[in-house]
Each structure stands twice: as C-alpha cells, then as structure tokens.
Structure 1
C-alpha cells in the first residue's frame, strides 16, 4: 500500500479560481491533441517519403539504400572478366551471382521491419488517447474541488517516444550495415 501512495499522485485541495483551472485543463488537452496530430502528420509525411523512395529505387534500379558495396564490387569484377574468354566470364559471373546475396533481401527480423510511419501513428494515437483521458479525469476532479498532478503520463510519453525512436534509429543503422556488407 505504501508503494502505491508513492506512485499515484495525491489529491491536492483546489483553493484557486475554478475558471482558471478549467481553462488550464483545456489548454493541456489541446496541447496533447496538438502533439498527437503532429505525430500523425509526421507519419503521413514518412509514409509519402517511403513511397517516393520505392518509386525512385525501382526506376533507377537501386537497392533500399542506394548502390551497395557488393554491387560496386560486382561491376568491377564483371569489367575485369570481359577481358577474359567468354566461357570464363560466364562461369565467374554465375558463381559470383550465387555467392553474393541479393541486396533486396535482408536476413532475420529486418525483412519485416517496423516502419517509422507506423511508430508515429502509434505515438499519435497514444497522445490523443491520453489527452482525452487526462482531460475528463481532471474535469471530474476539478468539479469536486480537487487536483491530481500529472506525472506518469508525460514520463511514459517522453521515455516511450525517445526509446522508440532510438530503437528505430538502431534498426535503420543495422539495416544500412547489412545492406552494405
């Protein structure tokens, strides 16, 4: 029971102006709504950029992150093999093509990676949901003359979004490393 008293914020007597407190509650709700809509706009922009990237990659024949070191090495070896006889060039290029994995296929969990646009959508929905919950719970407390300070919602949002974007950044770095090996 003492653990819950430390974790859950205590109610504080509301001795100030009721109107000022309700307006502050509305501003907080609008702030959470603005953050949620910002994440939604970011998700839409990232989704469009991903679509543009796919079109450009397919048009110019590039891999997911541009031409890789494997493609450059393959081109150099093929140029060197053109000077040799046709049989040796065909045999070497077929052996080389079988030895080097395709740039388009990534091993393990990166083949079905979590896109950044979906992460932003999740964070946007979480912001909107938490803002709605916080507004109505605070409204109920303010109507009876009490106040509960917000602590865990902003802490979870800050830590969760920072951690999610760090994990996403590590995923992109690992994908870039695996593609260019």
Structure 2
C-alpha cells in the first residue's frame, strides 16, 4: 500500500528549462492558498457549530439555536472541503501540463470560488436580517405584554 502511494506521489525530475522551476513553485504556493482558504471555511463552519452548541447553555445566545445555524455550518464545511479538493486537483493537473510545456488558466475554479463566496455572503446576510427581524418581533411582543 505504501509503495503504491509513493509511486502516485513521486514524480520524476523535470528538466529546468526556461521557467519550469519557478512555475512549479508558484503552483505549490497557489495550492497552499487554496488549502488555507478551504481550511478557513472549515474552521468557520466548525466554530459556528460550536457557538450553536453553546447557545443551549446561554439565554442571550438562545436565538442562535436553530436548524439554520446547522445548515450554515454544513455549507461552510462542505465549501471548505471542495476548495481543498479543487486545489489538490488543480495542482496535479498543472504539474502534468507544465511537464508537457503547456498551461491552462484556472477560470473554472476562480468562478466557482467567487460564486461560493458570494453565495455564503448573501446567505449570511439573509440570516442576519431574519435574525434581526425575529428579535424585533420578540421585542414588540414583550412591549405588548407590558
């Protein structure tokens, strides 16, 4: 099993003609950026889930305890996982293309990441607006009771 993994990961040396070494190192940095972004999404999703768990203990955070928080945390973790996966696939495809002397721009990955970030931002904004509206309705009910 370990020998198969080594064969998959190990790459024969590539002649450093032109800017191949610089391009490969840039590709590695790009992979690390995708991984860092994905892990940031995952960490945010896990943190949101933990805040939701603490909401059961705190009356001031009780409004966070609902299925929307779980959904948001799941979306963040899934988005982060896809981001890390895409970065990995992109790195290995770039490695293969550079060995052939070619390069393909990452328009698909960039578009997907932009749409994901915009979607998360819009969904987060909607959740905040709905939460504020719910709190305002609760305050109005409290005023009516008095």
TM-score normalized by structure 1? Answer: 0.58
Q: Is the 8 A contact 2:55 2:62 kept in 1?
A: no
Partner of 2:63: 64
Q: Which aligned segments of 4 or more residues in structure 1 are displaced greater than 6 angstroms?
A: none
Q: Is the 8 A contact 1:42 1:120 kept in 2?
A: yes
Show the counterpart of 2:37.
Answer: 35
Pair member with larger Rg: 1
Cα distance in 1 between the residues matched to 2:34 and 2:121: 19
Q: Between 42-51 and 170-179, report the one with greater CA deviation.
A: 170-179
8 Å CA contact 1:44, 1:117 repeated in 2: yes
1:146 is paired with a residue whose SS is coil
Q: How does 1:121-136 map to 2 (within 5 A)?
A: 121-136=77-92
- SS of equivalent to 2:56: helix
> In structure 2, do the counterparts of structure 1 residues 63 and 124 end up closer, same or farther at CA, with 3 Å as the change threshold?
closer
CA distance in 2, matches of 1:44, 1:112: 15
* Number of residue pairs matched by the alignment: 120
1:88 maps to which residue? none
Partner of 2:6: none
Query: Which secondary structure does the structure 2 equivalent of 1:16 belong to?
Result: coil
CA contact (8 A) 1:123 1:161 kept: no
Shift of 1:63: 5.0
- Cα pair 1:36 1:126 within 8 Å, conserved: yes
Shift of 1:173: 1.8
1:166 equivalenced with 2:122 (yes/no): yes
How does the TM-score come out when normalised to structure 2?
Answer: 0.70
Q: Deviations over 1:56-105 (max 9, x none)?
A: 12xx7x8526xxxxxxxxxxxxxxxxxxxxxxxxxxxxxxxxxxxxxx9x
**Aligned pair 1:154/2:123, yes or no?**
no
Shift of 1:164: 2.3
Gaps (5+ residues) in structure 2?
1-16, 138-146
More helix as a share of residues: 2
Distance 2:99 2:93 in 1: 10
1:128-179 superposed Cα distances (whole Å, 9 cap, x missing partner): 0110110111111011111111112112211222122212321332244245
